[in-house]
Amino acid sequence: MRPGPALLVPTFAVLAGSVSAFAPGTPAAHWSYLIAFAALVAAGWARLRTLRGPTRSGYALIMGALSVWLAGDLLYDILTRIVGGLGEVSPSDALWISGYPLLAAGLIRLTHLRAPGRLREGLLDGLAMTTVMAWLCWQFLILPAVEGQRLSLSVAVAAFYPFGDVLLFAAIAVLVLVPGTHRGPTLFLVAALTLTLIGDIGISTLPELFPSLSRALQAERLDGVLLLANSLLVAGIVHRDAGRIADGAAREQRLHPARVVFLGVALLVLPTASGLSHFESAVSRVSLLVSAVLMTGLVLLRFVLVVREQERIRAALAHQAGHDQLTGLANRPALLARLEFALSRPRVDPYSPVLFYLDLNGFKQVNDRYGHSAGDFVLVEFARRLTAALRPGDVAARLGGDEFVVLAEDIDSRDEAAALRARLQELTAEPVRRGDEICAIGVSVGLAAAEGGHDADALLAAADAEMYVAKNLTTA
């Protein structure tokens, strides 16, 4: 199936569902709902066959949820015609209930693809909001329905539906709160979940609000809402950008103001409810306490993760400010700061500190012959060898290009400086091997000691000049 205009799908559902809204309980409403639902499921699976890539698994779970819901409707219709009245619980309930976790799993999968590596924050915020939603469902939907009743299959099954709505609410919260684009198919998915939640809550609460109307008639009036919600799920799959729902997903890093508002409301619900309501039953008080503890734990965990992320970012920025990005060695500002500090300290031996200025020979030829990637490989390998050759307390830095500097503070004689210089010159005795490429390089080393009372810039310039003398002797 070629992806057509996604808006045609909910338009079709509105036309089919209007029969249930205006003529509930009639055969026309019944068959228009079933035929339209079956057509939507068929269209979704046909579109799914054309999708490729990792998003296909998420959409397959969504279609699995729609399929089991349709199977539940068909099974209920068949059993009703064969057996008659099925009572409060039927085999279809197992299918209807199983659709909720399938739908939530598919949406979480798509959300993970939209924000790889950034799902944790949105998941925690979604769980915080879901905790409040779960408590509200428990306190005002489940508990009033089961109080005074013995535990039975019908009571247990009735409790599963509000928890399914909690799963849907969690999927909405995570889908909205996780960074990423909220356009295209995502907009259809959010709208579908919202309508499903409204329809389910309506089916649960309308009998209490309008007891004069039969439960079956009220449910059939809402069939059009649920059909529209299901069509929006299919519209998200049929959308031309369904396979690219994760493209550029992690670019959005800012905290959206709506996220703060939603979390603020979630944090206010539990203390407000405890202050305005008097919960007489022990079950109500325990559920409120458990929800408050869980909410507090989620908020604290979120706070700890934010603080640790900020600490990690600050540490990374501090490291980048003082280190060369390619080799990981100190950069010029960090070297000069360390050198100025070494020169400012009282020195027992006036000979140190000593600077060794290193410049690679033949590096340009490596770049010209093998390319800049090979040149970068040579620089990284030389930096590794240089770090391994240093003594404790010595500092190695890369000034740029193929120029390196070593600062040695604990050298008390010219002979010791000459010995370290000779060790540095041996770093290129073994050529650098990169696969089948053999990169032969050399190194020229200039030496300058602080015995003449140099400042940092002068000492660096003296070592640089000494390096050029050594380089000219090498190439002469």
Residues identified as active-site: 402
The CA-based angle 10-14-19, given to 5 degrees, is: 150
Q: What size, in residues, is the chain?
A: 476
Q: Check: CB of residue 186 under 8 Å from CB of residue 254.
A: no
- Torsion sign over Cα 421, 424, 430, 434: negative
d(CA 366, CA 2): 52
Residue among 216, 228, 188 at smallest CA distance from 37: 228
b/e 234-273 (16+ beta carbons within 10 angstroms → b) = bbbbbbeebbebbeebeebeeeeeebeebbeebbebbeeb
The residues, any chain, with a CB within 8 Å of residue 408's CB and separated by 6 or more, are 352, 353, 354, 355, 356, 391, 393, 394, 417, 420
Residue 406, burial from CB neighbour count under 10 angstroms (0-12, 13-18, 19+): buried
C-alpha distances out from residue 161 to 99, 188, 234, 364, Å? 11, 23, 22, 71
- Torsion sign over Cα 283, 285, 289, 292: positive
Q: How far is CA 237 from the centre of its chain?
A: 22
Q: Check: CB of residue 103 under 8 Å from CB of residue 171.
A: yes
The DSSP secondary structure of 80-138, one letter per residue, reads HHHH----S--HHHHHHHHHHHHHHHHHHHHHHHHSTT-HHHHHHHHHHHHHHHHHHHI
d(CA 424, CA 336): 21
